[in-house]
Chains A and B, each alone.
Chain A
Amino acid sequence: MYNRQVWEATPADTPVHRLDVRTKLVLLAAMVVFAVGLEGQRPLFLFFLVALGFHGVARSSVERWKVLIIFLLVGIWGAMLSQALFYNQEPRTIIACLVSPVAPWIGELTGGVFVYREGLEHGAVQALRSGIMLACGLLICWTTDPRQLLQCFLQWKMPYEIAFMLITSLRFLPVVFQETAVVLTAQRLRGFEPIRSFSPVRWIRTAFYVLFPILARALRRAATLALSVESRGFGRRGSQTYMEQWPLVERGACMVVFAGISAGAALKILYSLQFNGIAYFPDLRNVYDFMAVWL
């Protein structure tokens, strides 16, 4: 049945696992910045492949690849289809007509439902962005001890309550998924087949039926865990032993990455300034061309 270890961080001996957690977080931040800042489809696609490549290096199991692929497919096709139907910027090119504007009632109400090529493309770009962030985020969750993440956040002066909330959610979300599967099984055992029905009313009812026990368990678990860690000295006061020394090589690499992010951000700002007619520097024409072509 449901395998919780697919969702929870597991130790292993791969280059990704061996990376210091701070390095991983900096790389995650870098990927997020690139994903948000880049406009071009090509670099986004390449970064997307890089993010998938990290999973390969981390030797994610087949089950984890399945989870990742399901999320990515839903993101890619969901974003593309929704944007294809609801894209409202110009120019936009109709490539298919789903509901004609002259169709009785619904045609008048909607003005016609079309599939727009530019919408598909825009959706693909958004999907690549969210795919990069999802893949990198899951990689962190799957290869990093939550306790190390907690230490890192505390070392970086995040308020301990927020840090603990983050880590608890990471740690126990897989448990919630597993328990949801159990709840659905329990419902089926008592004659309620929510998944097989196409009735939205039933789905809403199912959602409430699932919510009660899951919330109750989550509340009890959260209370126990909070008391347990408090009982082990975690809290506002007291000195904290910090993590292992951040390896110099990794720290250097992070500096380089940070410099790269800064440079990228600067370039982006420069390009935006000229694009919006605020400032243009002719001597930087090569830079603008590079941005236009590659980024």
Chain B
Amino acid sequence: MNTRNQKIITGALFTVFLCSLALLAVHIFPELQPADGLSAPMKSLSQAGRYEKIAEIPLGKVEIRGYKQMGSTPGLVRLSPDGSRIVVGSESGEVLLINLKGSLLWRRKIGMGKISALEFSRDSRSIIVGENSQQGAIICLETATGTERWRKASVVELGVDIRQRTFPGIMSIHADGAGNVYAVALRSIRRPSGKTYYFARVYKFDSQGAMTLFPRDHNIDVWVSWCDVDEAGDTVAFATSDYTPGPERKFKDNIYAYDARTGELRWSRGLAPVAPYDRTNMRFGPEISADGKFLGGVSADGRAFLLDSEGKVLWSRTLSAPQLIQGVYVNATGLHVRHIGEYVAFSTGNTYNRANWQLSTPVEHPQSNSVFLFDRDGIIRKRRKLGGMAEELQVAGNYLAVAVGRNIRTKDPGVHGMVVFSTPEMEVLDVLRTEGPCVAVAVNETHIVGMEAPLQMDSGEVIGSYLIHVWKKTR
């Protein structure tokens, strides 16, 4: 072989090798990829043009789900109350802090736990992270630097069974205007007898990290995944669910309200089930109005409730009623509740087969994937169909933002994105489409942030990416 050819071959070999190394490096070290999101051209998918996209930030690897899996890719994104920062919790166990221009300020791995909840403190100085792990810790990070201030392991109260891999996890975190944060922790274990046991607690931490437990001295023996507190920090309330047969439960009611200062139970309310259900389950709720006078709740069977501060049910409405079609009960699950001034918004999710959620349904429930706005008298003011699952509702000022995810019945990817409504008119101000389902949203007066996740279609094609979209309001 002549020398010139040899040199060409040598050069080609080295080039291929270095390119292979570079590809591996970029894949293994995503921080090598441009983090400000401005390097790649972004499609502007604002329908009404009210928002301008300013950044897309990739979040690394995530398991790609399809339509056959229950639940979407979990999404955690929050805007700081002072409006200057965005915090994201990724599936790869990272907390990322981003500014409103889309630049990464810091990122921190939390270790072996899985991030399950996230919230800013009301003064924006702290970020509270909840994890699912052997310790089920609530971790307080300093917003400016990402350094850890304190952590509390819920395993002390809830226990752990490492052999069965039933770990305590933080289900949600909330903050009040008095500088306190509240976290719901839960552990469940299914015994060989078929019975499921739950261990749940609500934790309150003040600005110094001092802790109060609700209940004070015993665990909640049913499923609790949500709590809320009024702005003044007087009352903390949570709702319960019980999905599988278990022993005789102590916590038989559906909503419990505690005095957030003293830890005393103020009241509890049971909500009778409706046929064909044998129990009322409330997964995302309740929600207390800022003044503490009203408490909204939504049950999985598709009902919406408004209670007063004493726990009296002011009214109950059926957002979605189970329908028996072709011998199959189909319904749309009740999902979220939000207070918007004098109004209350509720959402419903995908249509499901009551016998087995994995089975298909003959029709799409007409009330599925919708947002309903009621006034406090229980009169429905508006109803909007979203086309896809309302993964998250967030309210800021006169805006209601909805993260729209998969529609498991129509499997239409065209519905994915964020919908911004004006409140209380519920007019669509803008629709910000994403390729993959939008699984989380955060909104304030000037910006909206959405988390997109990839989705595998039935054909095998994967659409969307795991990333954060940052939009700025232009008009």
Which residues on A are within 8 Å of B, measured CB to CB?
41-42, 45, 62, 65-66, 69-70, 72-73, 76-77, 91, 93-95, 97, 114, 117, 121, 124, 128, 274, 277-280, 282, 285-286, 288-293
A124 engages B24 (CB within 8 Å):
yes
A280 engages B134 (CB within 8 Å):
yes
For residue A289, which residue of chain B has the nearest CB?
Answer: B111
For window 18-65 of B, CB contacts with A under 8 Å fall at 20, 24-25, 27-29, 61, 63-64
Q: Say whether B14 faces chain A, with CB atoms less than 8 Å apart.
A: yes
A277 engages B164 (CB within 8 Å):
yes
B25 engages A76 (CB within 8 Å):
no
| Complex Cα spacing A114 to B461, Å | 11
Residues on B with C-beta less than 8 A from A76 are 20, 24
B29 engages A289 (CB within 8 Å):
no
Provide 12 A-B residue pairs closer than 8 Å at the C-beta atoms, listed in order of the A residue. A45-B25, A69-B14, A69-B17, A73-B17, A95-B462, A114-B460, A128-B24, A274-B162, A277-B165, A280-B134, A282-B153, A289-B113
Residues on A with C-beta less than 8 A from B163 are 277-278
Residues on B with C-beta less than 8 A from A128 are 24
Q: Say whether B16 faces chain A, with CB atoms less than 8 Å apart.
A: yes
A91 engages B64 (CB within 8 Å):
yes
| Complex Cα spacing A277 to B167, Å | 11
| Complex Cα spacing A97 to B419, Å | 34
B20 engages A91 (CB within 8 Å):
no
Residues on B with C-beta less than 8 A from A91 are 63-64
Q: Say whether B112 faces chain A, with CB atoms less than 8 Å apart.
A: yes
Residues on B with C-beta less than 8 A from A277 are 162-165
Residues on B with C-beta less than 8 A from A42 are 28-29
| Complex Cα spacing A291 to B456, Å | 31
Residues on B with C-beta less than 8 A from A289 are 109-113
Number of residues on chain B facing chain A (CB within 8 A): 32
Q: Which A-B residue pairs are the 9 nearest by beta carbons?
A: A289-B111, A292-B112, A93-B64, A277-B163, A94-B460, A277-B162, A41-B28, A293-B109, A69-B17
Q: Shortest CB–CB separation between residue B74 and chain A, in angstroms?
A: 14
B135 engages A66 (CB within 8 Å):
no
Q: Say whether B13 faces chain A, with CB atoms less than 8 Å apart.
A: yes
B10 engages A285 (CB within 8 Å):
no
For residue A62, which residue of chain B has the nearest CB?
Answer: B10
| Complex Cα spacing A166 to B153, Å | 55
Q: Say whether B263 faces chain A, with CB atoms less than 8 Å apart.
A: no
| Complex Cα spacing A41 to B23, Å | 13
B17 engages A72 (CB within 8 Å):
yes
For window 103-135 of B, CB contacts with A under 8 Å fall at 109-113, 134-135
| Complex Cα spacing A72 to B21, Å | 10
Q: Shortest CB–CB separation between residue B1 and chain A, in angstroms?
A: 10
Residues on A with C-beta less than 8 A from B155 are 282
A282 engages B24 (CB within 8 Å):
no
B112 engages A73 (CB within 8 Å):
no
Q: Say whether B362 faces chain A, with CB atoms less than 8 Å apart.
A: no
For residue A65, which residue of chain B has the nearest CB?
Answer: B14
| Complex Cα spacing A80 to B155, Å | 41
Partner pick for A291 among B10, B13, B112, B134, CB 8 A cutoff:
B112
Question: A274-B134, A292-B111 are known contacts; what are 19 more A-B pairs with Cβ within 8 Å?
Answer: A45-B25, A65-B14, A70-B13, A76-B24, A91-B64, A93-B462, A95-B462, A114-B460, A117-B64, A121-B61, A124-B24, A124-B27, A274-B162, A278-B162, A278-B163, A282-B134, A289-B109, A289-B111, A293-B109
B29 engages A285 (CB within 8 Å):
no
Q: Shortest CB–CB separation between residue B157 and chain A, in angstroms?
A: 14
User: Known contacts A41-B28, A278-B163; is A292 also within 8 Å of B153 by CB?
Assistant: no
Q: Say whether B270 faces chain A, with CB atoms less than 8 Å apart.
A: no
A288 engages B10 (CB within 8 Å):
no
Residues on B with C-beta less than 8 A from A279 are 162
Q: Shortest CB–CB separation between residue B81 and chain A, in angstroms?
A: 29
Residues on B with C-beta less than 8 A from A95 are 462
Q: Shortest CB–CB separation between residue B235 and chain A, in angstroms?
A: 33
| Complex Cα spacing A292 to B163, Å | 19
Residues on A with C-beta less than 8 A from B20 are 73, 76-77
Q: Shortest CB–CB separation between residue A94 and chain B, in angstroms?
A: 4
B13 engages A288 (CB within 8 Å):
no
Q: Say whether B83 faces chain A, with CB atoms less than 8 Å apart.
A: no
Residues on A with C-beta less than 8 A from B27 are 121, 124
Q: Shortest CB–CB separation between residue A189 and chain B, in angstroms?
A: 17
| Complex Cα spacing A121 to B24, Å | 9
Contact string against A for B residues 91-105, beta-carbon threshold 8 Å, 1 for contact and 0 otherwise = 001000000000000
| Complex Cα spacing A102 to B460, Å | 13
Q: Shortest CB–CB separation between residue A80 and chain B, in angstroms?
A: 9
Contact string against A for B residues 142-170, beta-carbon threshold 8 Å, 1 for contact and 0 otherwise = 00000000000101000010111100000
